[in-house]
Amino acid sequence: MKDSCLEIKLKNGRIEIVDYLKGFSILTIVLMHYIQRIKYLPAIVLKGASVGGSGVHIFFFCSGLGLYLSYLNHKTNFKEFITKRFSKIYFPYIIIVLISFLCPYMYSGEDRVLALLSHIFLFKMFVPKYDTSFVYPFWFMLTIIQFYFIFIPLCKINTKFKKRKNFFVAMLAVSVVWWIVCYATKTTEVRVISSAMFQYLWEFALGMCVAESLKQGNSINLKLIYLFIFSVVGLGLQAVMMIKPELKVFNDIPAFLGYGSLAILIFNLVPIRKMCMCISKFSYELYLVHTLVIDTIFYFVKANNTITSLILVLVAFLISLVLSYFYSILIRNIFSKFKK
């Protein structure tokens, strides 16, 4: 591999690689969930697919970067920010929850209505029983919403630090303390605790710091050889730490570095880059619909072998892409009318 660099800079108010990373991270998360539904796959394949779940770290980083870049361009208050973000995130999410509620196979508990209310009023983020109700991956939505509630205060805190790195170190310290508390209290498997915003605060803050640097006209040069080394070492450490599930709470830094470096290396592959850039335009909707689609297909069509389940997974993936694309258009049209 040549000792060349990848330059990251702000161009026309956008950062191309960030759009790519959003699409790439959601795509790998979806693929991980779908591969896990294929029957009788070797354990090593399932372990390899689980790396796709590390996309959440990159998404939190990109969220911090994108939100803070927007904030620097247009300073806003808490009410304005929450109103805008909820219109884009909360309502599309609740619509899918309501559809899932109407599907009897999406939740088997007797407290179905209460589970629905836990999504609508957001108290599922405090109740482990409801955290993964209806659609398992929706724990992710509540973590994002938690970040929305603290974003404006975080912006104010950031201004108190003279140097960006000091803000990042402070937020990293908060995350490290959280990791230690989760490990000490044996709550690493309790999703509402181990996946709360404090778990990922450091990477969200890192995104904010990068946004501020790029806004000031700086560029970031990443040597490909270093990215290769980080991807090998990071993914290797992640694999080792996965041997003991209780250690996964400390796994975020290796996962972020390993997965993130690999994703940036793949950015140089033009066909994949173009595909992920395209998916990034409706990546949020893809995340929302993909579990509902595959659960519905597997409920009505029984898959008892690898070939059948593989075919169903491919069908579900294609349907999810189409549905999420049109769902994104529908959502945009609805909210454009409300703005008039």
For 135-171, what is each residue's pLDDT tens digit? 888 999 889 999 999 999 999 999 999 898 999 999 9
**CA–CA distance, 282 with 285 (Å, rounded to integer):** 5
pLDDT in tens, 222-265: 999 999 999 999 999 988 887 777 788 899 999 999 999 999 99
Query: What is the domain partition of the chain in residue ranges?
Result: 5-339
What is the block-wise mean pLDDT of the chain (340 residues), using blocks of 10 residues?
A: 76 89 96 94 88 94 96 93 89 95 93 95 92 89 94 95 93 97 92 94 97 94 94 92 81 95 95 96 96 97 94 98 97 76
pLDDT at 13: 80
> What DSSP string describes 55-105?
HHHHHHHHHHHHHHHHHHHS---HHHHHHHHHHHHHHHHHHHHHHHHHSGG
Element (H, E) at 223: strand 220-223
Tokens representing 310 are 């593989």
pTM of the model: 0.94
